[in-house]
A and B are shown apart, each in its own frame.
Chain A
Amino acid sequence: MARERRWRGSLDDRFRPSPALLVALVLACLTLITLDYRGGSDSPLEPARRAAGEVFGPVEVATAAAVRPFTAVPHWFRSKDSMQDDLMALQAENSRLKGQVNSQDYDRNRLEEYDGLTAAAQSLGYSLVPARVVGLGSSQSFSSTVTIDAGSDAGLRPDLTVVNNDGLVGRVLRVTRTTATVLLIVDSDSVVGGRVGRSMEVGFLHGRGVLGSDGRLDLELVDDTAVPAKHDTVVTWGSQAGGPYVSGVPVGEVTSVYSSLRETSQRAVIRPFVDFGALDLVGVVVPSGTTSERAVIEADGSLG
């Protein structure tokens, strides 16, 4: 046996890894984990992430553009071009109207409150940079993030709000020249300041980390005597500087309410308006007058 092993030496060596190499690899992994875990938001790996983004970003954009005609094939079969256009126009209008209805309660309350007027004026002064989703983080990574095909060249920077026709999508985490990484609000790390449109009660929306049709958010209200009703609409609360989330963007509707004895607060389950499994065209909210390489949709609907 020993003799045979010696005879086949060179072949066997390849299948018997050197322990030193394995130990080195595992230690390298643990070092990376420790560096990134301790570093938090200004981790020493951010430059590496950015570099990887600069390399893989354009490739992802090109790949997504290349497969887009094929993913659109089923649509094409369903209806002719003109019908498709009509359908899209109607869908867009429908989403817009739904958005209006959803934020009606909130808008009425906001008008009644005098100091809300200034916030409204502010939130109307934003423009949108259109972008497409070109990459989706897999659920095996247990984080809900997407890549969009607009980056610092298009005027983006971290902590900008991302919306689509239906409502709030998420916020920009980091940008490269041509792409940006967006944290979806359903991610388990995501916390959004939310406001129940009908009662103006504020609270915090936590993602559950589940994508797809059963993706839900948990709303924890600051005031534990306030009980939201089913089908109440939740909009973003927005912070003073307009970042990371601008105010008044529809997020979702209340599907159920339960009280937690342990934490002595009311919790509501929110169904988001946005279908995160089928994200495509999104808009990034930028301050009005941002210089961008592409057409920016201004607050009054014109292209700037």
Chain B
Amino acid sequence: MSAVRALVAVVAVSLALVLQVSVFPHFAWDGIVPNLCLLVVVGAALTRGPQFAAVLGFVAGVALDLAPPADHIAGRWALALVVVGYVAGRVRQDVRPTATAVVATVAASSFVGTSVFAISGILLRDPSLSIGELLQVIGVALLWDILLTPFVLPSVMAMFRRLQPDRALA
């Protein structure tokens, strides 16, 4: 069961990555696309808690860092998504999250995730963008992620909930 769960999670992350890289650029605003990998990690965090989400965030982040056409210093998205998985997982209470709670969690996660990535870039002197431009990118990415939440999160959360071993308890 655990191997199946891991496989499904990895497939979900890969699908999100390919859609993000090959399909959504057609709808991109100034090259900014919805971060589907982040949405999958948040979905995992809301249903399965921070531990699973942090591991999945690491896997998704490494994939984002290495799959073409990525060229930034590897490990930066991994760090950002581990933080996102942990933070989003801590938000979760034992009740099923309401729609508002899900949207708020996505918004906070998107802000934290893109910011951690941007800050790591500033520390490593990777991009030469001004703070204003960075904030603009973070803001647009946040709007994109919220816009995609109603289409992505319900199915992702249903999927992870179905894979839950102790469904009866939860």
**Smallest CB separation, B145 vs chain A (Å):** 10
State which residues 90-143 of B face A: CB under 8 Å.
90, 92, 94, 114, 117-118, 120-121, 124, 126-129, 133-134, 137, 141
Q: Once the chains bind, are A56 and B28 in contact (CB under 8 Å)?
A: no
Which residues on B sit within 8 Å (CB–CB) of A57?
Answer: 68
Q: Once the chains bind, are B66 and A277 in contact (CB under 8 Å)?
A: no
Asked if B7 is at the interface of the complex by the 8 Å CB criterion, the answer is no
Q: Once the chains bind, are B89 and A63 in contact (CB under 8 Å)?
A: no
Q: Once the chains bind, are B69 and A182 in contact (CB under 8 Å)?
A: yes
Which residues on A sit within 8 Å (CB–CB) of B3?
Answer: none
**Tally of contacts, chain A with chain B, CB under 8 A:** 211
Asked if B6 is at the interface of the complex by the 8 Å CB criterion, the answer is no
Q: Once the chains bind, are A36 and B75 in contact (CB under 8 Å)?
A: yes
Query: In the complex, A33 Cα to B63 Cα: how many Å?
Result: 14
* A: contact size bracket: 35 or more
Q: Once the chains bind, are A25 and B55 in contact (CB under 8 Å)?
A: yes
Q: Once the chains bind, are A140 and B32 in contact (CB under 8 Å)?
A: yes
Which residues on B sit within 8 Å (CB–CB) of A34?
Answer: 75
Contacts A33-B74, A141-B72; is A11 near B32 (CB within 8 Å)? no
Contacts A10-B166, A17-B86; is A138 near B129 (CB within 8 Å)? no
Asked if B41 is at the interface of the complex by the 8 Å CB criterion, the answer is no
Q: Once the chains bind, are B49 and A17 in contact (CB under 8 Å)?
A: yes
Which residues on B sit within 8 Å (CB–CB) of A181?
Answer: 68-71
Query: B170's closest neighbor in chain A, by CB?
Result: A11
Query: In the complex, A56 Cα to B16 Cα: how many Å?
Result: 12
Q: Once the chains bind, are A37 and B89 in contact (CB under 8 Å)?
A: no
Which residues on B sit within 8 Å (CB–CB) of A25?
Answer: 54-55, 58, 82
State which residues 20-40 of A face B: CB under 8 Å.
21-22, 25-26, 28-37
Q: Once the chains bind, are B51 and A188 in contact (CB under 8 Å)?
A: no
Q: Once the chains bind, are A63 and B31 in contact (CB under 8 Å)?
A: no
Asked if A60 is at the interface of the complex by the 8 Å CB criterion, the answer is yes
Asked if B160 is at the interface of the complex by the 8 Å CB criterion, the answer is no
Q: Once the chains bind, are B30 and A67 in contact (CB under 8 Å)?
A: no
Asked if B22 is at the interface of the complex by the 8 Å CB criterion, the answer is yes
Interface of A is mostly: helix
Query: In the complex, A49 Cα to B33 Cα: how many Å?
Result: 22
Contact with B along A102-144 (1 / 0, CB 8 A): 0000000000000000000000000000000011111111111
**Smallest CB separation, B155 vs chain A (Å):** 19
Q: Once the chains bind, are B22 and A28 in contact (CB under 8 Å)?
A: no
Q: Once the chains bind, are B129 and A209 in contact (CB under 8 Å)?
A: yes
Q: Once the chains bind, are B82 and A147 in contact (CB under 8 Å)?
A: no
| Contact for B20 among A138, A142, A187, CB less than 8 A | A138
Q: Once the chains bind, are A141 and B77 in contact (CB under 8 Å)?
A: yes
Query: In the complex, A37 Cα to B21 Cα: how many Å?
Result: 24
Asked if A176 is at the interface of the complex by the 8 Å CB criterion, the answer is yes
Asked if A229 is at the interface of the complex by the 8 Å CB criterion, the answer is no
Asked if A301 is at the interface of the complex by the 8 Å CB criterion, the answer is no
**Smallest CB separation, A171 vs chain B (Å):** 12
Q: Once the chains bind, are B71 and A52 in contact (CB under 8 Å)?
A: no
Query: In the complex, A22 Cα to B85 Cα: how many Å?
Result: 10
**Smallest CB separation, B7 vs chain A (Å):** 15
Q: Once the chains bind, are B67 and A56 in contact (CB under 8 Å)?
A: yes
| Contact for B70 among A137, A179, A214, CB less than 8 A | A137
State which residues 265-304 of A face B: CB under 8 Å.
276-277
Contacts A10-B169, A25-B54, A134-B22; is A277 near B31 (CB within 8 Å)? yes
Not counting A16-B50, A67-B23, a sample of 14 additional A-B residue pairs whose C-beta atoms are within 8 angstroms of each other reads A15-B49, A17-B50, A17-B51, A32-B78, A35-B75, A45-B66, A52-B63, A63-B23, A136-B69, A142-B127, A188-B129, A208-B129, A209-B127, A277-B28
A-B contact pairs, 19 of them (CB 8 A): A11-B170, A15-B94, A17-B49, A17-B50, A17-B86, A26-B82, A30-B75, A32-B62, A51-B66, A56-B17, A63-B19, A136-B33, A140-B117, A142-B72, A143-B127, A147-B21, A209-B127, A214-B30, A277-B31
A residues with a Cβ closer than 8 A to B are 10-11, 14-18, 21-22, 25-26, 28-37, 43, 45, 48-49, 51-53, 55-57, 59-60, 63-64, 67, 71, 134-147, 173, 176, 179, 181-183, 187-189, 208-212, 214, 276-277
